[in-house]
Amino acid sequence: MEIKKILLPYDFSEPAHRALLEAKEYLQANPKSELYVLHVAVGAENEYLMNLDDDPLGTLPVFTRADIQEIKQREIDKRMTALHNKIDAELDELENPVHIELMFATATAEKIVKYATKIDCDLIIMGARGLGALRGLLGSVSYGVLRSAPMPVLVVK
Ligand code: ATP
Ligand code: MG
């Protein structure tokens, strides 16, 4: 099987980072292979709403469309910078093309599989667990991707 395109779903967790190291090894051995990194931003709006508790006037928030666009853009910038810091630092010396993608969604596994199908990747490399606190072998995202992805999935423990 020739693996030209690898998709790495990345959530900033330790297992996802181990998946990145696994992908790196493959990329080193195959300089023409490409890496696609996808981060799905989940619940960004909740994070913002929590910060409203610090509002000293206790005023009810009224958001205009422009406010919401600004909040979203700030979230995109923050996460994109964090992604580049992690991924670029690790893959610095590699020649392989690397694409970093950020998407907003609630159904994370579905979004990952949809994207994997769109870019027509040959392999998905992901962590078995992520940022969730529950124990067990697989998290809900890795389980969902394993169940419905049409291409091979390498799950890193
Ligand atoms: P749960 O989310 O069900 O509480 P968990 O967080 O321990 O469990 P998962 O979320 O399934 O485990 O994470 C497994 C792997 O899925 C991660 O290592 C990462 O590769 C990928 N993943 C999880 N969440 C995201 C996300 N938001 N964007 C991109 N990839 C993700
Ligand atoms: Mg998770």
What pTM was computed for the model?
0.91
If you measure from the C-alpha of residue 42 to the centroid of ligand 2, how many angstroms do you get, rounded to a whole number?
10
Phi, psi of 41 (to 5 degrees): -85, 115
pLDDT of residue 133: 83
Phi, psi of 20 (to 5 degrees): -60, -40
pLDDT of residue 42: 84
CATH superfamily of 5-156: HUPs (3.40.50.620)
Q: Express each pLDDT in 117-157 by its tens digit.
A: 999 999 999 999 999 988 889 999 999 999 999 999 999 99
Any idea where the domains of the chain sit in the sequence?
5-156
Q: Express each pLDDT in 59-93 by its tens digit.
A: 666 778 888 888 889 999 999 999 999 999 999 99
pLDDT of residue 135: 81
Which residue do the tokens 């910060």 mark? 51
pLDDT of residue 37: 98
In three-state secondary structure terms, 13 is: coil
6's tokens? 């690898």
Query: Of ligand 1's atoms, which has the minimum distance to the CA of residue 15?
Result: 18
| Residues 89-95: contacts with CB under 8 Å, at least 24 apart | 90/20, 90/21, 90/24, 91/24, 91/27, 91/35, 94/24, 94/27, 94/28, 94/31, 95/31
The least confident of 20-24, 31-35, 46-50, 125-129 is: 46-50
Q: Indicate whether 48 pLDDT > 80.
A: no
If you measure from the C-alpha of residue 59 to the centroid of ligand 1, how many angstroms do you get, rounded to a whole number?
36
Average pLDDT over residues 42-67: 69
| Residue 110, burial from CB neighbour count under 10 angstroms (0-12, 13-18, 19+) | middle
Could you give the percent of the chain with pLDDT greater than 90?
Answer: 75
Q: Higher pLDDT residue, 111 or 51?
A: 111
The best mutation among 10, 13, 123 to test binding of ligand 1, ranked by most ligand atoms within 8 Å of the C-beta, falls on 13
In this structure, the dihedral spanned by the alpha carbons of residues 33, 5, 124 and 24, taken in order and rounded to 10 degrees, is: 20
Q: How far is CA 154 from the centre of its chain?
A: 16
Distance (Å, whole) CA 152 – CA 154: 7
Distance (Å, whole) CA 15 – CA 149: 19
The best mutation among 6, 8, 11, 140 to test binding of ligand 1, ranked by most ligand atoms within 8 Å of the C-beta, falls on 11
If you measure from the C-alpha of residue 66 to the centroid of ligand 1, how many angstroms do you get, rounded to a whole number?
31
Which residues sit with their C-beta closer than 6 Å to ligand 1? 9-11, 13, 15-16, 19, 38-40, 42, 108, 126-127, 129-132, 134, 139-142
pLDDT of residue 47: 59
Residue nearest to atom 15 of ligand 1 (CA): 127
